[in-house]
Structure 1
């Protein structure tokens, strides 16, 4: 059963995950304007596109209590953002007990295990705090690094599909891989 709670600050050994707010615009600009960070997400965004995306993320976080987007900090240094959001588009009714996991990391923080560390905490939060039954994640089919991270976290490959063309600029590679983990499988990995 899904327990209702507002989005809270989460902690790992190295990260402080703070609910995303309008105050984090400069950080999202740094992430989304970097062509390498956005390589598998449709390419770098303009400041106007980033502002619109932030507004959309904040609205999306209001759809289901406890789910949302988090800005991640190593001490006071912004590292990236993580999400555990209702799956589907904002105009769809959220699927009870289900959330979608993801993250974007600034290049200077790549290959330090922060993506896995923050995602592991969101999996814990989703299954333990919120009582979710299923968490999925999407990665571009060409993004083998993200797929390896998801697999290492215990998610299993489900399928490959074409992403909604409305979410990406013309010419973007829409081939996407879906992964998932169910609460029972996650508990078994934790030895619970």
Structure 2
């Protein structure tokens, strides 16, 4: 379903475009899938009112893109390449959240790699970071395939205990210089 919003980025299979208010029901459904949210809030569903007032404005802001399959226009989820400061794109956070039905098809890796490339070739980014729970091996593998490397394990005091949280969270990073050396750019 093409929203008519011009794409921020296209890959062979994906179109990333700004999230728009018309995406609300799709975004909320994604956040209400306990499997998708297993490593985020322990799978607790999003409260629609809170989602509208707190989460949606963030997703409509700078650095978040709805992901659509180019061939069909099917809405797959979202990607994040969000500046960590208001100053610019020098340091950004990479993230993604896709429907379980499309897991294992390489969409997360394809989108993450394309965003890394865009960050270092066009946005002036010097450092990319990404975080997940230590036990979220699928997300960690996407980070690695996108070129990021493990930096550290850390422990946060989260409001809810999630299975596996005793192993902490991990941070992965990639600098422009590391990317140049490994990508041949």
TM-score (norm 1): 0.82
CA gap 1:35/1:134 in 2 versus in 1, 3 angstroms: same
| C-alpha contact 2:64 2:82 (8 A) present in aligned 1 | yes
CA gap 1:136/1:41 in 2 versus in 1, 3 angstroms: same
Using the alignment, how far apart are the partners of 2:17 and 2:88 within structure 1? 24
Residue equivalent to 1:47: 48
Using the alignment, how far apart are the partners of 2:64 and 2:142 within structure 1? 19
Residue equivalent to 2:161: 171
Task: Answer with 133-142 or 44-53: which moved more.
Answer: 44-53
| C-alpha contact 1:9 1:18 (8 A) present in aligned 2 | yes
Residue equivalent to 2:129: 136
Q: Secondary structure at the match of 2:93?
A: strand
Among 57, 60, 67, which residue is 1:58 paired with?
Answer: 60
Deviation at 1:132, TM superposition (A): 0.5
Deviation at 1:70, TM superposition (A): 0.4
Residue equivalent to 2:103: 110
Pairs aligned (count)? 172
CA gap 1:163/1:24 in 2 versus in 1, 3 angstroms: farther
| C-alpha contact 1:137 1:178 (8 A) present in aligned 2 | yes
- Cα deviation 1:65-86 (Å, max 9, x = unaligned): xxx1000001310111000012
Among 76, 81, 88, which residue is 1:79 paired with?
Answer: 76
CA gap 1:95/1:81 in 2 versus in 1, 3 angstroms: same
Residue equivalent to 1:98: 91
| C-alpha contact 1:28 1:50 (8 A) present in aligned 2 | no
RMSD over equivalenced CA pairs, Å:
2.0
Q: How does 1:8-23 map to 2 (within 5 A)?
A: 9-23=8-22
| C-alpha contact 2:82 2:94 (8 A) present in aligned 1 | yes
